[in-house]
Amino acid sequence: MTGKILGFDIVTNEGTILGDDNKRYKFSKKDWKEKAVPLKEFRIDFDVNEDGTASDIYQILDKEAENNEIFMGLLSVGITFFFGFIGTFISRLVLAKQPLGKTVMPTLIHFIITVLALVPIFGWIIYLIGTLYYMVKNYKLVVNDPYTLQNKYA
């Protein structure tokens, strides 16, 4: 059967699936067969046990969506590289669809790093390291890296 994950609690290692039959199924981490952390909205394929719980759960990957995410991730890298802290703001708010509250602090930190670029040599090095850091971080947020997503929805 196919469906989608409605939620997964990383503390209790239990979650709920909404099957395509509009029924809800409970599952535990031991039934999850993928390396990635099970996240809300993942499309999945699973079996139903006699007791009504889900087992043998696998994520269904959508290659077109995955290619789109990679493109958006590279766009995020380019925006961050060319526009600096403004690119970080745009990447996180628009492309990664983070709430404004989670976007402001990284943008301010990137802004401070940008101001340090006015200091010869030392400032330039800090600026390059900081911008590279935000390029990678923004890329991971946009392409829905499973380990980054845990913090994205927390």
**12-35 mean pLDDT:** 93
- Is the CB of residue 80 less than 8 Å from the CB of residue 91? yes
Query: For the chain, what is the mean pLDDT?
Result: 87
Q: What is the pTM of this model?
A: 0.54
Per-residue confidence band for 36, with pLDDT thresholds at 50, 70 and 90: confident
Residue 80's nearest CA partner among 119, 113, 116 is 113
Q: Which helix (H) or strand (E) holds 68?
A: helix 63-83
**What gap in Å lies between CA 145 and CA 120, rounded to an integer?**
35
Average pLDDT over residues 13-40: 91
Q: Quick one: pLDDT band at residue 28, thresholds 50, 70, 90?
A: very high
Residue pLDDT, tens place only, 42-66: 889 999 999 999 999 998 876 766 6
Look up residue 43 and give its amino acid.
Answer: R
Question: Does residue 134 register a pLDDT over 50?
Answer: yes
For 63-88, the pLDDT digits (tens) are 766 677 888 889 999 999 999 999 99
